[in-house]
Structure 1
Amino acid sequence: MSDALINGLAGAGGGIIAQLITYPLQTVNTRQQTDRDPSKSTRKDGTIQQMYQVVKHEGWERLYGGLGPSLVGTAASQGVYYYFYQIFRNRAESAALNHLKKGNGDGSVGMFQSLIVAAISGCVNVLLTNPIWVIVTRMQTYKTKKRLPIQPSRVPDNANSPNVIDPPPYGTSQAVQELYGEAGLTGFWKGVIPTLIMVSNPSIQFMIYETLLKRLKKKRSLSGKGADGVTALEIFLLGAIAKLGATVVTYPLLVVKSRLQAKQASGVDKRHHYKGTLDAISKMIRYEGIPVFYKGMSTKIVQSVLAAAVLFMVKEELVKGTRLLFKPKLGSINGSN
């Protein structure tokens, strides 16, 4: 099994676990980003209070709205990203070694090269998986209508309650049909421009992570513990630090992306109907001010840092375990020839 495939599968597994742990925070954060009514008192509530309000008025399941396609998207995104990242990384390392043979460089991949590798991998990932994330955003921001009161004489025989009737469910198929009805196939790539720009987020994240990991491994090697002396807790902390730095820098783009991917406002109010990225940015500044680009950032920092830290920790452990599982077999096969 190639290193690219091992890293792709490990990234997918780590991403799924991180998503399951942090999904309620992600749902609340998406709602914070797309909230366009400054008069709502909920805007003053903290993350925990908003989670409580969702559970109270819509049910706990709404905190996991879109979890199914989100898990598919996470597995696809992390798998695609890490697969191509490892391929491009291997090529960059080969190029660095060739330069070393010619007397140039030290044979290692520098920060700038790491940034380019991560950016290219991110672009490939965005173009392939954007439709999934548009659907996830729609499902996260959908607000279940209150249960409707009905007359006792109209209650079905199999109803659970004699006084209310549940609204129709809003699932993946409904979100797909709604989006296609609004904008056709191109609607599935809404927000792709700010998302492509946001590849700088994982690029910055990986640049910081790879740099810190390289320094830590070098320190461990010099101390006599070897490069494998890095613990899972240290990987967790390195992932958290890297994601924190990347999130603070790129958060405004994330808000714009969520606004574009959420269901557009209809009717006479054109303030919240966006024709594209530039239109969204100009209207957000004009009608809501600069602070709107940082709505929900504290929630996002907690969610993304925790998710990234878990992802890196799980991924590294899965990579180590997979290599231990397959390398002995490969060694015994080579030894028998």
Structure 2
Amino acid sequence: MVRPTSVTPGLFQVLKSILEKEGPKSLFRGLGPNLVGVAPSRAVYFACYSKAKEQFNGIFVPNSNIVHIFSAGSAAFITNSLMNPIWMVKTRMQLEQKAVKQLSSLSFVGISRLLWHRIPAEVIRTRLREEGTKYKSFVQTARLVFREEGYLAFYRGLFAQLIRQIPNTAIVLSTYELIVYLLEDRTQ
């Protein structure tokens, strides 16, 4: 296995570089489709999650971890299937280049909540977005990244992802639970 010869820039170095080369407006490229996609995406996700939870509660121990895992996976699959066109537009706007056709199916790979599966999928999906590169397919890209850069390359960007995702998830799930609580309280 070949080890990388250069050090990958950190979050702040990348941010500084983007601001210097492209200006502050570039940080908001693709924001419109993102905003248009978030509300319907969350609505679809939570509606599917709730319905799946009802179904899985009838199969497994009610409200068990397995019910939540299968419900979340089902909701993510349906949401990704329905919302992919909006995210594809966002990606194209952000890149201002032709997207690689494999990106559509890669959203399904990102469904898994396990870091081992999710983080490599994000790294590979990002590489496939680079037009005109040596990256051609999911499996080919995964093998090439591993061979050329090693296992840790699959975790590049994890810190930035966690900074974005943890507060986002906390806000979304807290809001969901509050709404469910308020709605249940009114029906009783």
After TM superposition, the score normalised by the length of structure 1 is 0.48
Structure 2 partner of 1:125: 79
CA contact (8 A) 2:120 2:154 kept: yes
Q: Does 1:112 align with 2:69?
A: no
Amino acid at match of 2:155: Y
Structure 2 partner of 1:198: 110
Structure 2 partner of 1:52: 16
Match of 2:122 among 223, 230, 254: 254
Amino acid at match of 2:38: T
Task: Specify the SS of the correspondent of 1:313.
Answer: helix
Match of 2:53 among 80, 83, 89: 89
Q: Deviations over 1:218-273 (max 9, x none)?
A: xxxxxxxxxxxxxxxxxxxxxxxxxxxx446621111112222x2422xxxxxx33
Rounded Cα–Cα distance in structure 1 between residues aligned with 2:139 and 2:116: 21
Amino acid at match of 1:296: G
CA contact (8 A) 1:195 1:254 kept: no
Rounded Cα–Cα distance in structure 2 between residues aligned with 1:290 and 1:135: 31
CA contact (8 A) 1:198 1:253 kept: yes
Rounded Cα–Cα distance in structure 2 between residues aligned with 1:196 and 1:249: 11
Higher relative contact order (CA 8 A, sep 6+): 1
Rounded Cα–Cα distance in structure 1 between residues aligned with 2:136 and 2:108: 18
Rounded Cα–Cα distance in structure 1 between residues aligned with 2:63 and 2:56: 7
Amino acid at match of 1:283: L
CA contact (8 A) 1:137 1:258 kept: no
Task: Specify the SS of the correspondent of 2:139.
Answer: helix
Amino acid at match of 2:110: M
Rounded Cα–Cα distance in structure 2 between residues aligned with 1:247 and 1:77: 22
Equivalent runs, 1:59-98 vs 2, <5 Å: 59-93=23-57, 95=58
Equivalent runs, 1:100-249 vs 2, <5 Å: 108-140=62-94, 142=95, 178-179=98-99, 187=101, 190-201=102-113, 246-247=114-115
- RMSD of the TM alignment (CA)? 2.9
Amino acid at match of 2:126: S
Question: Is the alpha carbon distance of 1:247 and 1:308 closer, same or farther for their aligned partners in structure 2, counting shifts above 3 Å?
Answer: farther
Aligned length, in residue pairs: 185
Amino acid at match of 1:77: S
Rounded Cα–Cα distance in structure 2 between residues aligned with 1:283 and 1:135: 27
Rounded Cα–Cα distance in structure 2 between residues aligned with 1:75 and 1:263: 28
Structure 2 partner of 1:317: 178
After TM superposition, the score normalised by the length of structure 2 is 0.80
Rounded Cα–Cα distance in structure 2 between residues aligned with 1:299 and 1:248: 17
Structure 2 partner of 1:214: none
Greater C-alpha Rg: 1
Rounded Cα–Cα distance in structure 1 between residues aligned with 2:6 and 2:26: 20
Amino acid at match of 1:306: P
Rounded Cα–Cα distance in structure 2 between residues aligned with 1:48 and 1:321: 41
- Percent identity for Structure 1 against Structure 2: 24
